[in-house]
Structure 1
Amino acid sequence: MPVHREGKELMRLPADPLRLRPFPSNRYPAAENAAVAAISGSWAPTTGTLPVAGFWAEPNDTAVMSADGAILLAGGEDGRRNPLALSARFDPASSTWTATARQLNTARRLHTLTRLADGKVLVAGGITGPVTVPARGTNTAEIFDPANGGGWTTVASMNEPRFSHSATLLADGSVLVAGGCSARSGDSNRALRSTEIYNPAANTWTVAEPMNDIRLGHPAIRLANNKILVVGGVITIGRGQYAALGYCEMYDPKTGPDTGTWSTTASLAAPRKGHQATLLKDGSVLVTGGDIPTSSYSSTIQPYSQETCERFQLNGDGVGGWRADTAMPWGLSQHRAVLLPTSGKVLVIGGTDSGVFDTGYTDTILYTPGANGAAGTWAISATMTVGRWAAAVAALPGDKVLVAGGVVRSGPAAPTLGEDLLTTTAEVYTP
């Protein structure tokens, strides 16, 4: 593999020339035309577009289905990383977007969006101001009630400000918020291991047992046994320095929501951030992709995302373990992975394959799990009309999938210096 040296930096250039193509909409060589022609599924633009362009950089703050079947999208960030007060709903029947009667009370990004047991939606935390060093989170929270005129109501605040955390609905209807990031000092941030639980009936937050390790930007999955699995993420290792995390752990709420316990479980083979974790029909968890495992200050630059995949399965002792699964056709990060509940397949959407996140991909690929827990297979699926990463997604009835917004081009690929090119477009996948 060719190596380029410049000063102390070392860059390993890819042996695959296809990876050097600047735009992903034309990634298939002529030899693959026959395979591409056999692609299943299709994408169609929605009738309307989002009220404003936005993107959602964490795995926990995309779109959710509210009680009446409409898809709710809230918050996010614009091309200059300013938080949005956006609140819009998508009607699958008419394929149209409508702004809610009232926007968020507080504009926010890197927040969480969680559907509650009664169909209401909880928004918690995030960053509410412009880009600063250090980034400063909020402890505020709001609830959307589609039966209450489509508005947002401010509820009790968390005990600790945080952003890039996870928020997971527990079996008893409460919500577990875990980890995230907050300001450490006047010029640095720190990752958190603290957790707290929201009780919607009492409108209270209760401090819970902290995780064993700090982390932010991590997926959190509720397993069939109602334990919560947190997978990888990011740790802070110095001022402005971050690294991917392979360490995983589980929360067991069996003794009550405010006295649950955290325990270690098997670690990922590869540290991951910017990855996705998807609960499969058999109860296992598929992890896909992720971006560079080292910080931006590392002396070694790995400019491409991971194509490797891993699968978590609970063991008889309840601890569980990871094993390698079939790799994706190419590396991805900041993509989205959605379970198609009827077929049991997983649709992986868009994303990017660059350490600096230049261009969103139009590509989608389809994962089919192997029988009896065996490794799955990947197939190329239909391409979107607009390439995007960090988009909002939601599963629709009939194994359809909605994707909205996202980053089209950023960094040196963006047409305006210092501002990412975003999209207001949305599309629906039909298998």
Structure 2
Amino acid sequence: MSSPTIAATGTWTAAGTLPSPAAWYGRHDGAVLLTGGTDKVLVIGGADGSATAAGRTAVYDAAAKTWTAAAAMQVTRRLYTATVLDGGSVLVAGGITGSRQFPSPGLNTVELYDPAQDAWTTAAPMKHARWGHSAVLVGGKVLVAGGFAVRSGQSELALAGAELYDPVAKTWTEVGPMTDPRGGHAAVLLKNGKVLVTGGAVPVGKGTDTDLAYCELYDPAQKTWSVTGSMTAARAGHQATALDGGAAVLVTGGRAPGGRGDGTFDPFSRAAAELYDQATGTWSPVDDLPGGRVHHRAVALGPDQALVVGGTGDVHDDAGYESAAIFDRATKKWTTAGGLATGRWAFAAVALSGGRAMVAGGVARSGAAAASAGAEELTGTAEIFATAATP
């Protein structure tokens, strides 16, 4: 007997090809939607197939359906953060430059992109070099928190420190440190104006780290952090998506959890998903994501829906997934979405107007086959998702 056909919601359409393919491995890097009333997407830096940081940028014009190479950054970087300021300029902070995986001491340099002039200018440097950190616009200022730095040689150190960039004064000010050091975490702005930081990892030895379930809140009025409810599972490499303007936060995926309490080993990424309630400060499990994954992306399609797309689940981070799914906050259920034309992980993604989403670049294939060629196999293609109801 043949298996029943499952109807998929929404479709993907081709959106051209990046001037240069790249991959993005962080939680707050890749692409941003430029302001100004038109769907224009800026794709920034990242890494090439040999993990060398790039400085190239490009702009996609959804109305013209074209990619245009934009001015290159002054410093090549990956694992940076990119934040759109209230005035429309884009603040890019920190990261790693060069070809080594963790070169000392990382970057504290900062650049500002002016879309009108297509130009980058140097901004005041951060107080501390960092990569794998978070950045959130809160009250018109950029809150940067945590990340990794080099302790000695190639030994990593997780940071607890946080600092605030004031676009008017053009200065950085240190604020209270997080309650726990972490890097590779995700941060989102809540409806009440506070910032929620979720999960991440802490190095515990050379080449070894531990994932975190701990979460905390930043209060912009007090410029201090406080503990909030912990997730039901420790996560790194996950995604956090604000729903209902930040009244709720959906967390999905994460890398393979490794050893479990029963002595078995789980070689695949997390399928469990959970929802944070701003009002109670607690997490509750929802239906499992259809297929565990890491290095995926999640974007809000509207106030109560999130699209989770791509990623990989193999312990070796091999082939990129084509699959996508839509979460509905009202029902707490998942609906199968149309699949990508090109499977990918560690890619850029951004929400567009009209409940649409765009993905670009990323790793199509890694593992032994790609390693034999001396580089990961990247894709330069881009695709746009729209539901059946979207014109």
Same fold? TM cut 0.5: yes
| CA deviation profile, 1:254-300 (whole Å, cap 9, x unmatched) | 13xxxx010001111110011111111261001011112359xxx97
Distance 1:397 1:315, change over 3 A: closer
SS at match of 1:213: coil
Name the aligned partner's letter for residue 19 of structure 2: P
Do structure 1's residue 107 and structure 2's residue 84 form an aligned pair? no
Q: Deviation at 1:314?
A: 2.0
Structure 2 segments unaligned to the other structure (5+ residues): none
Q: Deviation at 1:341?
A: 1.5
Give the equivalent residue in structure 2 for 1:17: none
Distance 1:280 1:211, change over 3 A: same
Do structure 1's residue 73 and structure 2's residue 43 form an aligned pair? yes
**Structure 1 segment 22-171 matched on structure 2, within 5 A:** 30-32=2-4, 34-35=5-6, 38-46=7-15, 48-68=16-36, 69=38, 70-100=40-70, 102-132=71-101, 136-147=105-116, 149-171=117-139
- Of the three residues 316, 330, 336, the one matched with 2:297 is 336
Name the aligned partner's letter for residue 234 of structure 1: A
Name the aligned partner's letter for residue 204 of structure 1: T
Distance 1:94 1:302, change over 3 A: same
Give the equivalent residue in structure 2 for 1:246: 213
- Of the three residues 315, 319, 323, the one matched with 1:355 is 315
Distance 1:135 1:309, change over 3 A: farther
Give the equivalent residue in structure 1 for 2:250: 286
**Structure 1 segment 273-312 matched on structure 2, within 5 A:** 273-281=236-244, 283-294=247-258, 301-312=265-276
Counterpart Cα distance in 2 of 1:418 and 1:181: 26
| CA deviation profile, 1:394-431 (whole Å, cap 9, x unmatched) | 11111111100000011214264431100110011111
Give the equivalent residue in structure 1 for 2:338: 382
**C-alpha contact 1:59 1:219 (8 A) present in aligned 2:** yes
Distance 1:186 1:308, change over 3 A: same
Counterpart Cα distance in 2 of 1:413 and 1:270: 32
Q: Deviation at 1:368?
A: 1.3
TM-score of the pair, normalised by structure 1:
0.85
SS at match of 1:414: helix
Name the aligned partner's letter for residue 233 of structure 2: A
Counterpart Cα distance in 2 of 1:30 and 1:329: 21
Name the aligned partner's letter for residue 279 of structure 1: A
Give the equivalent residue in structure 1 for 2:287: 326
Q: Deviation at 1:67?
A: 2.2
**Structure 1 segment 126-275 matched on structure 2, within 5 A:** 126-132=95-101, 136-147=105-116, 149-171=117-139, 173-255=140-222, 260-275=223-238
Which structure has greater strand proportion?
A: 2
| CA deviation profile, 1:177-224 (whole Å, cap 9, x unmatched) | 000001101231101101111111111011111111110011101000
Counterpart Cα distance in 2 of 1:217 and 1:418: 26
**C-alpha contact 1:134 1:187 (8 A) present in aligned 2:** yes
Q: Deviation at 1:132?
A: 4.5
Counterpart Cα distance in 2 of 1:383 and 1:404: 14
Q: Deviation at 1:62?
A: 2.2
Name the aligned partner's letter for residue 307 of structure 1: A
Counterpart Cα distance in 1 of 2:376 and 2:81: 22
| CA deviation profile, 1:5-31 (whole Å, cap 9, x unmatched) | xxxxxxxxxxxxxxxxxxxxxxxx951
**C-alpha contact 2:185 2:236 (8 A) present in aligned 1:** yes
Counterpart Cα distance in 1 of 2:64 and 2:368: 38
**C-alpha contact 2:194 2:217 (8 A) present in aligned 1:** yes
Counterpart Cα distance in 2 of 1:179 and 1:300: 32
| CA deviation profile, 1:329-360 (whole Å, cap 9, x unmatched) | 21111111111126x31111101111221110
Distance 1:76 1:210, change over 3 A: same
TM-score of the pair, normalised by structure 2:
0.94
Name the aligned partner's letter for residue 28 of structure 2: N
Counterpart Cα distance in 1 of 2:14 and 2:376: 22
Alpha-carbon RMSD across the aligned residues, in angstroms, is 1.7
SS at match of 1:212: coil
Q: Deviation at 1:134?
A: 5.3
- Of the three residues 334, 344, 352, the one matched with 1:396 is 352
Counterpart Cα distance in 2 of 1:133 and 1:347: 32
SS at match of 2:17: coil
Structure 1 segments unaligned to the other structure (5+ residues): 1-28
Counterpart Cα distance in 2 of 1:414 and 1:268: 35
Name the aligned partner's letter for residue 74 of structure 1: I
Counterpart Cα distance in 2 of 1:402 and 1:236: 33
Counterpart Cα distance in 2 of 1:165 and 1:97: 29
Counterpart Cα distance in 2 of 1:368 and 1:187: 43
**C-alpha contact 1:411 1:417 (8 A) present in aligned 2:** no
SS at match of 2:268: coil
Counterpart Cα distance in 1 of 2:66 and 2:372: 30
Q: Deviation at 1:137?
A: 1.0
**C-alpha contact 1:243 1:294 (8 A) present in aligned 2:** no
